[in-house]
Amino acid sequence: MRLIESPGRILEGSSIRYTETETVRTFASEFSGGMRQRAVIAMALACEPEVLICDEPTTALDVTIQAQILELLAEIQEDRDLAIMFITHDMGVIANVTDKVNVMYAGEIIETAEVERLFENPKHPYTRGLLESIPGSQSGEQLRTIDGNVPTPTESATDCRFAPRCPKAFEECTQIHPELVPVDGEDEDHVAACLLYPEDRSTAKAVEYHQRKGGGDGR
Amino acid sequence: MSQDAVHPETEVETAGSPEEDVMVEVRNLKTYYGGDKPGPFGGRPVRAVDGVTFDIKRGETLGLVGESGCGKTTLGRTLIQLEEATDGTIRFDGTDITTLKGYELKQWRRNAQMVFQDPDSSLNNRMTVGEIIREPLDVHEWGTPRERRQHVRDLLDTVGLQREHYYRYPHQFSGGQRQRVGIARTLALEPEFIVLDEPVSALDVSVQAEVINLLEELQDEFGLTYLFIAHDLSVVRHICDRVAVMYLGNIMELGPTEELFSDAANPYTLSLLSAIPEPDPTAEKDRITLHGTPPNPRYPPDGCPFSTRCPVRIRPPEYEDLDDEVWQGIGTLEEILRERQRADRSIRDRLRGMLGMETRYSTIDEIYEEVFGDIHVPSRIEPTLDDVAEHVRANNEGKALDAMKAEFGGACEQQKPEYYTVSASGRRSLCHRHDPEYRTPEETLDDRHQ
């Protein structure tokens, strides 16, 4: 009974067009995009998991429907004390739903921080570029962009994969693989994989630190 | 927004002042799909675009935003005659293009082109990039073959690709580069007017920014006029001079971009803007969550197109004090009935219903239990609910809906609102609440949405 109940309850909410009993007897093809996404969420929750991975759950939806789905996920999280991993490229959604953010580039996590800190004070040049290219967040006529394209990671990284596009790249960037280090040298809550950090050390010292840390990992 | 500025606009023709250089004049344009066959197999048409009126000025970028299925793309396609208009006129520099045929239409088409949404499906993978861009030149027999090839190479250069890319295939390019190829093809015949149908929606943020920059450069260089269709409002805010907000085939609000974003007048625009997640984790805003989904454009509401989801719908004065949850229940009930009224009930379902067996559809008592089960229903609305239940038991959802409309309906359900001018710049909005008789959408929203 629980299995029938739980999807029904999730499908309810703003599923105004059908009543709960009608909803469970309806085919997916008769649903709108938002309702289908609800059905998928109901499926994911049927076995009462503790972790839910949401892979771009709202990217294909309109903003008003996106708002409904985000609200639903927040309610479910509250109700069930669920951990959610939210994968998306929409910075607005990230800012609204997450507590902590990992930024990925070409197969590696290059920066990790609490969401407020990341948006207020991004450290990795890629994160900065990404946040700056959002239209509406900048005043100038031209939108700022990141030159070049994302490489296809075919081999394990021996250097910084962002170096060819990085406005701050220097020589060592093409030789040494940066490790995730605390940006201010102490706080493990905000780490970035960039040879510019920790920022309390000189560049030479920082490079040495990354090299030592990388070597220590058995590379 | 002051109440004084508000007055009904009966003559929509006054929208553009004469000194402005208007390029495209659209008047009461309708595009319906299907429903043209009379008789039992005709059925009702899908009203994709249901009477829109606006101007596009030379050299400007007019944004067209709205949810998917609201008719944005159909409107764009009708403007360049990829779809036939059902009614109304489109005048390009004074010529009504809906009446053009054959040779004249082909000649005119050079002037107006379109960039499509998805660069993966709008480029033929079996043709080289050069052939793709050259195709419109071949169709219109532009110059000699040598000149065409030269022109294509120049175009590749213009859109930021390399001349050597002529012999490559689309799959060898990234999404952003493919969209550049699409833009080059659009520019081949040197049009004045371009419909951009979600040109950056399929792209990542940083690539998106590059394509937007390119579009703006091209506009400056060639003096282009754009109709920019998008559902991403932050992109629209950046690139557009004026914005039209569409809902269910109608333009709900139209005006200068900054003004519309900072001081929206229409309840739909307000809801849409409040639903955009801001890329700022510290921003606190009251999100207006709209319930349900837009109605089926085959069966649009009789009154205001937004009336089924509107957070500030006008309520009859005698029920003004009902609880919000009761109103929500009434709305839900209406929506369920409307859906059942138009659902094709299979013969099997009907038979099962008649034999008292379980069908896909709930009985009215089950519906009431679900909709009003947890809330206190005031006794004065009970007679109406009983009436409605009677009609539903007799399988007459139409009558049930009429009964509900007669009791709970206000101006919004009964008649379609007019356009009101809501600011000095001539911004128009479609909503009964701009009538001084009612309170404004913003006041009502503050009230109901604390």
- pLDDT of A178 reads 92
The CA distance from A215 to the nearest CA of chain B, in Å, is 33
pLDDT band, residue B112 (cuts 50/70/90):
very high
Q: CA-to-CA distance for B289 and B284, rounded, in angstroms?
A: 15
Domain segments of chain B: what residues? 3-275, 317-409
Query: In the predicted model, what is the mean pLDDT of residues B85-102?
Result: 91
The CA distance from B49 to the nearest CA of chain A, in Å, is 19
- pLDDT of B3 reads 41
Query: Residue B282: which of A62, A66, A116 has the nearest Cβ?
Result: A116
**CB pair distance less than 8 Å for A67 and B216:** no
Q: Which of B206, B336, B360 to mutate to test the interface with A (most CBs of A within 10 A)?
A: B206
Domains by residue range for chain A, with CATH = 1-98 (3.40.50.300), 100-219 (3.40.50.300)
Q: CA-to-CA distance for A7 and A41, rounded, in angstroms?
A: 8
Structure tokens that stand for B388 in this block: 């409605």
Highest mean pLDDT among B2-11, B16-25, B88-97, B403-412: B88-97
Q: CA-to-CA distance for A73 and A10, rounded, in angstroms?
A: 10
Q: CA-to-CA distance for B70 and B61, rounded, in angstroms?
A: 20
Q: CA-to-CA distance for A154 and A156, rounded, in angstroms?
A: 7
Note the pLDDT tens digit of each residue in B336-384: 787 777 665 556 666 666 666 666 666 777 778 777 877 888 888 888 8
Single-letter residue type at B281: P
Percent of chain B having pLDDT more than 90? Answer: 45
Residue B350 neighbours by CB distance under 10 Å: 12
In angstroms, what CA-CA distances link B432 with A180, B260, B263, B265, B341? 58, 18, 18, 11, 27
CA atoms within a 13 Å half-sphere pointing along the CA-CB vector of A167: 11
The CA distance from A65 to the nearest CA of chain B, in Å, is 8
Residues in chain B with CB shorter than 8 Å from the CB of A146 are: 206
The CA distance from A212 to the nearest CA of chain B, in Å, is 33
Residue B18 burial by Cβ neighbours in a 10 Å radius (0-12, 13-18, 19+): exposed
Q: Are strands B242-247 and B112-115 parallel, antiparallel or unpaired?
A: unpaired
The CA distance from B44 to the nearest CA of chain A, in Å, is 19
Task: Say yes or no to pLDDT of B269 above 70.
Answer: yes
- pLDDT of A15 reads 42
CB A108 within 8 A of CB A160: no
Name the closest residue on chain A to residue B69, using Cα atoms. Answer: A62
What is the secondary structure of B107-165 as a DSSP string? HHHTTEEEE-S-TTTSS-TTS-HHHHHHHHHHHTT-S-HHHHHHHHHHHHHHTT--GGG
- pLDDT of B318 reads 81
Q: CA-to-CA distance for B85 and B77, rounded, in angstroms?
A: 10
Q: Which of residues 317-376 of B touch A (CB under 8 A)?
A: 331-332, 335-336, 339, 360-362, 366-367, 370-371
- pLDDT of B342 reads 65
Name the closest residue on chain A to residue B212, using Cα atoms. Answer: A143
Residues in chain B with CB shorter than 8 Å from the CB of A63 are: 67, 231, 233, 272, 275-276
Query: Residue A64: which of B275, B332, B371 has the nearest Cβ?
Result: B275
Handedness of CA B218, B219, B223, B224 (dihedral sign): positive
Residues in chain B with CB shorter than 8 Å from the CB of A137 are: 234, 279
Of residues B11 and B312, more confidence is placed in B312
Note the pLDDT tens digit of each residue in B30-42: 999 887 655 555 5
**CB pair distance less than 8 Å for B278 and A144:** no
Beta-bridge partner residues of A101: A113
- pLDDT of B381 reads 83
Query: Residue A89: which of B205, B336, B371 has the nearest Cβ?
Result: B205
Query: In the predicted model, what is the mean pLDDT of residues B324-343?
Result: 78
Residues in chain A with CB shorter than 8 Å from the CB of B277 are: 66, 70, 90, 92-93, 95-97
Structure tokens that stand for A121 in this block: 């004070």
The CA distance from B247 to the nearest CA of chain A, in Å, is 12
The CA distance from B249 to the nearest CA of chain A, in Å, is 16
Answer whether the bond into residue A198 is a cis peptide, omega within 30°: yes
Name the closest residue on chain A to residue B67, using Cα atoms. Answer: A62
Note the pLDDT tens digit of each residue in B149-169: 999 999 999 999 999 999 999
Q: Where are the beta strands (DSSP E) in B153-197?
A: 193-197
CATH of domain B3-275: 3.40.50.300
CB A218 within 8 A of CB A180: no
pLDDT band, residue B2 (cuts 50/70/90):
very low
Residue B197 burial by Cβ neighbours in a 10 Å radius (0-12, 13-18, 19+): buried
- pLDDT of B6 reads 41
CB of B422 within 8 Å of any CB in chain A? no
Query: Residue A133: which of B206, B275, B367 has the nearest Cβ?
Result: B206
Task: Say yes or no to pLDDT of B393 above 50.
Answer: yes
CB B194 within 8 A of CB B114: yes
CB of B174 within 8 Å of any CB in chain A? yes
Q: What is the mean pLDDT of chain B?
A: 85
**CB pair distance less than 8 Å for A91 and B205:** yes
Q: Which of residues 32-91 of B touch A (CB under 8 A)?
A: 67-68
CB B64 within 8 A of CB B75: yes
Note the pLDDT tens digit of each residue in A7-43: 455 555 434 445 555 666 667 776 777 778 878 888 8
pLDDT band, residue B297 (cuts 50/70/90):
confident
Q: Which of A15, A22, A61, A98 to mutate to test the interface with B (most CBs of B within 10 A)?
A: A22
Q: Which residues of B294-303 are buried (b: 16+ CB within 10 A; e: fewer)?
A: bbbbbebbeb
Query: In the predicted model, what is the mean pLDDT of residues B322-333?
Result: 82
- pLDDT of B39 reads 53
- pLDDT of A83 reads 93
Residue A194 neighbours by CB distance under 10 Å: 28
CA dihedral B241, B246, B250, B254 (to 10 degrees): -30
Note the pLDDT tens digit of each residue in A115-138: 999 999 999 999 999 888 887 666
CA dihedral B73, B77, B80, B83 (to 10 degrees): -160
- pLDDT of B15 reads 46
Name the closest residue on chain B to residue A145, using Cα atoms. Answer: B206
Single-letter residue type at B117: Q
User: Please, what is the Cα angle at B27 between B22 and B30, to 5 degrees?
Assistant: 135
Percent of chain B having pLDDT more than 70? Answer: 89
pLDDT band, residue A4 (cuts 50/70/90):
very low
The CA distance from A143 to the nearest CA of chain B, in Å, is 6
Note the pLDDT tens digit of each residue in A41-79: 888 888 888 999 999 888 778 888 888 888 888 888 988
Query: In the predicted model, what is the mean pLDDT of residues B400-410?
Result: 84
Of residues B365 and A201, more confidence is placed in A201
Quote the ipTM score. Answer: 0.74
Residues in chain B with CB shorter than 8 Å from the CB of A18 are: 336, 339
Task: Say yes or no to pLDDT of B57 above 60.
Answer: yes
What does the DSSP 8-state code read for residue A102? E
Beta-bridge partner residues of B352: none
Query: Residue B209: which of A93, A98, A135 has the nearest Cβ?
Result: A135
Task: Say yes or no to pLDDT of A140 above 70.
Answer: no
Q: CA-to-CA distance for B125 and B59, rounded, in angstroms?
A: 33
Name the closest residue on chain B to residue A115, using Cα atoms. Answer: B281
The CA distance from A3 to the nearest CA of chain B, in Å, is 19
Q: What is the mean pLDDT of chain A?
A: 81
**CB pair distance less than 8 Å for B289 and A14:** yes
